[in-house]
Amino acid sequence: MFSVKSIENRSIYVCDGTVPSPLTEERFQQMIANIRSEAYENHVSFEQNLTFTYLKSKFEEKSISLTEENMEMLHISEKGKYTKLGFILSDQYDQTLKIAVFDNEYKSSFIDRAEFGGSILKQMDDTLLFISKYNRNSSIITGMYRVDKKDYSEITLREALANAFVHRDYAMDDSILVSIYPTKITIVSPGGLKRPYSLEELESGVSSLRNKNLAAVMYRLKIIEAYGTGIPRIFGAYTNLPVKPTISTGGSSFTITLPAERDEDTTPLMRFLKDRTEFTRAELEENLNLNKSEAIAKINMLLEDGSIIKIGNGRSVRYRLKISL
């Protein structure tokens, strides 16, 4: 709880705990947003002529019947009236998700775009299906095999989208924005954090739910696993990669950026080896722009995991692939 501590030289001080601090414009806007949206999902919906075709289908997938009793228990309705949570989950929900595909980092031109409406559960599924069209395969060598891997794992995408829907401020008349770039995806949801957390706290699982009842519905449907686990799971997917997700937040938005889950060290190598059966060290150096020691290091790595064998002697040494790329 915040309280006005004092006013000195037209500066307002607030007490967040025991230490008073100056109230910045950003902090003030965040406080107003938190007050406005505190129990938004519990308010009675202005729209009562609602249907739940998609919501019921999601519950049926989990062998659960969406009875009137269950809807009351989940706070989709209260005393015979649909709540704002019910509106959010209904087929009639009118705030949309907008998604666009760009050919570069500067948004100079679109490749594709779409807008999804209706129940947020349908918006989430529609978005994942749309992204799948642009989720490219990359390959790495593991032992004797080539392993194909998507740029973005389904778990990472689902967690990031679920986080955007669960934590967004539904009192704000704005869309969730998803942008797909050649090497990253950004997801921007309306509303900042209820409290200012550091990136380290978010990574560790600290969570302050704005929409607790919505989170309970998603937990019941197994869309989220447990409160506070989404961000750690996202970062965990990048543990062994040279790139990491980034998060930025302000008083009116929360943005998570997911870099493509590629091992940038092996991707050029895979492109070089593709459609080849043999190669020399000189060819590897020239094509990958490596010096002699770097080329030898990569060759030794491939030899050690059994991906290639050495043939010939002296200046006629070549390397033959033991796997088909």
For 310-324, what is each residue's pLDDT tens digit?
998 877 899 988 755
Residue 183 has pLDDT above 60, yes or no: yes
Rounded CA-CA distance 262/139 in Å is: 9
Rounded CA-CA distance 3/25 in Å is: 16
Listed ranges 21-30, 62-71, 201-210; the one with the highest mean pLDDT: 62-71
Residue 134 has pLDDT above 50, yes or no: yes
| Of residues 138 and 213, more confidently modeled | 213
pLDDT (average), residues 250-254: 82
The DSSP call for residue 219 is H
State residue 2's pLDDT score: 43
pLDDT (average), residues 43-48: 96
Planar angle of CA 115, 119, 124, nearest 5 degrees: 60
pLDDT (average), residues 296-301: 87
State residue 8's pLDDT score: 46
Tokens representing residue 149 in the block: 């891997």
State residue 302's pLDDT score: 82
Residue 10 has pLDDT above 70, yes or no: no
158 confidence band (pLDDT: 50, 70, 90):
very high
Q: Over the stretch 255-280, which tens digit does the pLDDT of each residue have?
A: 999 999 876 555 677 778 876 889 99
Mapped onto helix, strand or coil, the DSSP state of residue 308 is strand
Rounded CA-CA distance 310/90 in Å is: 63
Q: Over the stretch 88-99, which tens digit does the pLDDT of each residue have?
A: 999 999 999 999
State residue 3's pLDDT score: 44
Amino acid at 1: M
Amino acid at 294: E
pLDDT mean across residues, the chain: 83
State residue 325's pLDDT score: 47
State residue 104's pLDDT score: 84
Domains of the chain, first to last: 1-37 (no CATH), 97-259 (3.30.565.60), 267-321 (1.10.10.10)
State residue 315's pLDDT score: 79
Rounded CA-CA distance 167/120 in Å is: 13
Residue 65 has pLDDT above 50, yes or no: yes
Q: What is the DSSP string of 244-261?
A: --EEEE-SSEEEEEEE--
Beta-carbon contacts of 119 under 8 Å, excluding residues fewer than 6 positions away, are 52, 54, 55, 88, 89, 90, 91, 93
State residue 199's pLDDT score: 59
184: number of CA atoms within 13 Å, CB side?
A: 15
Q: Over the stretch 66-84, which tens digit does the pLDDT of each residue have?
A: 999 999 999 999 999 999 9
State residue 5's pLDDT score: 43
Amino acid at 42: N
b/e per residue 254-274 (b: at least 16 CB within 10 A): bbbbbbbbbbeebeebbebbe
Q: Over the stretch 222-245, which tens digit does the pLDDT of each residue have?
A: 998 866 678 888 988 888 777 889
| Of residues 180 and 305, more confidently modeled | 180
Mapped onto helix, strand or coil, the DSSP state of residue 312 is coil
Q: Are 284 and 290 in contact (CB under 8 A)?
A: yes
Bridge-based pairing state of the strands 253-259 and 184-190: antiparallel
Q: Per mean pLDDT, which range of 25-29, 227-231, 300-304 is the poorest?
A: 25-29
Q: Over the stretch 81-125, which tens digit does the pLDDT of each residue have?
A: 999 999 999 999 999 999 999 988 888 888 999 999 999 999 999
pLDDT (average), residues 186-213: 76
